[in-house]
Amino acid sequence: MTRGAGTVDLTDVDVFVAGGHPAVFAHLRAHDPIHLNRGADGSRFWALTRYEDVLWAYSSHELFGSTRGAIVGGSFRSEEDTSAGKMLVSTDLPRHRMLKQIIHPAMSTSVAKRVAARVSVLLDDALARLRRNGGGDFATEVATELPAGALMEIMGLSHEEAHHLIGLTRRMVGYRDEVFVETGGDERLRLAWLQAEIFEFFTDVVAARRRDPGEDLITMLLHGTVNGRKLTEEEVFYNCMNVAVGGNETSSYTGCTGLLALLDHPDQYDLLLSRPAIGSTVVDEMLRWSSTNAYVQRVVLRDVERGGVTFRAGESVTLWNYSANRDERVFADGDRFDATRSPNRHLSYGAGLHRCVGAPVAQAELSLLVEKIAAQGLRLKLAGAVRRLRSNFILGVTSLPVEPV
């Protein structure tokens, strides 16, 4: 991906892995804010890079639909994603509202409290182990306990099952990364195969909940109705997968990139340790800084003009949370990690109709992580090479070796 407008290719994953994307987005925001991306992989999509354009698209549900799925080029059978109209995140109104009514209670404030209690215990254990061992890989030994605790409470899984499922969602989101999968062959078929592995996992869990219902998301999906009709087994699987991928691959990666930001900005790390009360602004800055879910995809529902560009019905549009969150028009000195930044109206959870339904859970998980680091006065330092996930969709760190100072 070169810097000249028109030659930028946002599908070039290597640029993200090498950390070149902040400069590319700064260039696009300044010179080509609504960028027509022609990918080397044959893809063609619009990329919105300024905050106000991204927010406009999030808020214009009548113009931009979600049925093409989350990932550019992710659907392999047709233009429409196979999950369209079945999985919450790939469903438009009015069906989206009905599906959300079923799923939302599984992530209510009372569930978020239970998640917090569970994650607290798991984190205490993981951090104590890290100290005892004189260090470890924060990405695999600590951060994964955030989604593990959430899955245990939201889906009623055991700790072991939760980690097994995290391994599967990690492979799916890491479908271009040789750490997780054998690369080579057709990427879209590989993605479909990895999705099938997750469905297989849920086959047994769903059968168990049918026999023995609980108060978890899976039981809610089995009993919920849309237009008076129960969800099909496929719809149940898709929504389990939505919550699993949505929850597993975001909060733990944000915890890692958030810690990395503190390690890269020792003055801000000092500030947190000396003033633990700033924990909540630190969490929001980690979310903004990381923008773990780098973009979301929409499909144009009817022709519309903006910024001198005409979006035609059927075209793909990507809303770059990462770039919006660094937009100098909204965030003063946006390329600086500022632990006390306020206000901080980041778009890391999206906005509008599809705004992250798991945000209260994620907020609880990340707050605990930051609170514990601050309360324990835990000063960590890098103890090896950092490895970034090979993705332009989820910006994560797959290996973060650290040791206590």
Q: What is the contact surface with ligand HEM in residues (CB under 6 A)?
A: 66, 88-89, 100, 107, 150, 154, 242-243, 246-247, 250-251, 254, 287, 292-293, 296, 321, 348-350, 354, 356-358, 361-362
Nearer of residues 96 and 135 to ligand HEM, judged by Cβ: 96
- Taking the C-alpha atoms of residue 208 and residue 240, their distance in angstroms, rounded to an integer, is 14
**394 φ, ψ (degrees, to nearest 5):** -110, 120
Beta bridge partners of 404: 380
Nearer of residues 181 and 356 to ligand HEM, judged by Cβ: 356
Residues with Cβ within 8 Å of residue 100, at least 6 apart in sequence: 88, 357
Tell me how far, at minimum, the Cβ of 116 lies from ligand HEM, in Å.
Answer: 12
Tell me how far, at minimum, the Cβ of 284 lies from ligand HEM, in Å.
Answer: 11
- Taking the C-alpha atoms of residue 366 and residue 368, their distance in angstroms, rounded to an integer, is 5
Nearer of residues 148 and 287 to ligand HEM, judged by Cβ: 287
Nearer of residues 11 and 254 to ligand HEM, judged by Cβ: 254
User: What secondary structure letter does DSSP report for 10?
Assistant: T
- Taking the C-alpha atoms of residue 313 and residue 79, their distance in angstroms, rounded to an integer, is 13
Tell me how far, at minimum, the Cβ of 164 lies from ligand HEM, in Å.
Answer: 17
Tell me how far, at minimum, the Cβ of 356 lies from ligand HEM, in Å.
Answer: 3
Measured from each CB, the residue nearest to ligand HEM is: 358
Tell me how far, at minimum, the Cβ of 134 lies from ligand HEM, in Å.
Answer: 29
Q: Could you tell me whether strands 295-300 and 64-65 are parallel, antiparallel, or unpaired per DSSP bridges?
A: antiparallel
The number of C-alpha atoms within 13 Å of 243 and in the hemisphere containing its C-beta is: 29
- Check: CB of residue 397 under 8 Å from CB of residue 138: no
Instruction: Count CB-CB contacts under 10 A for residue 279.
Output: 20
For the record, the structure tokens of 402 come out as 């650290």
Nearer of residues 135 and 236 to ligand HEM, judged by Cβ: 236
Nearer of residues 139 and 243 to ligand HEM, judged by Cβ: 243
Tell me how far, at minimum, the Cβ of 7 lies from ligand HEM, in Å.
Answer: 28
Determine the longest span between alpha carbons in the chain, in angstroms.
60
Nearer of residues 137 and 249 to ligand HEM, judged by Cβ: 249
**Secondary structure class of 72 (helix, strand, coil):** coil
Residues with Cβ within 8 Å of residue 241, at least 6 apart in sequence: 87, 169, 195, 198, 199, 202
Tell me how far, at minimum, the Cβ of 209 lies from ligand HEM, in Å.
Answer: 17
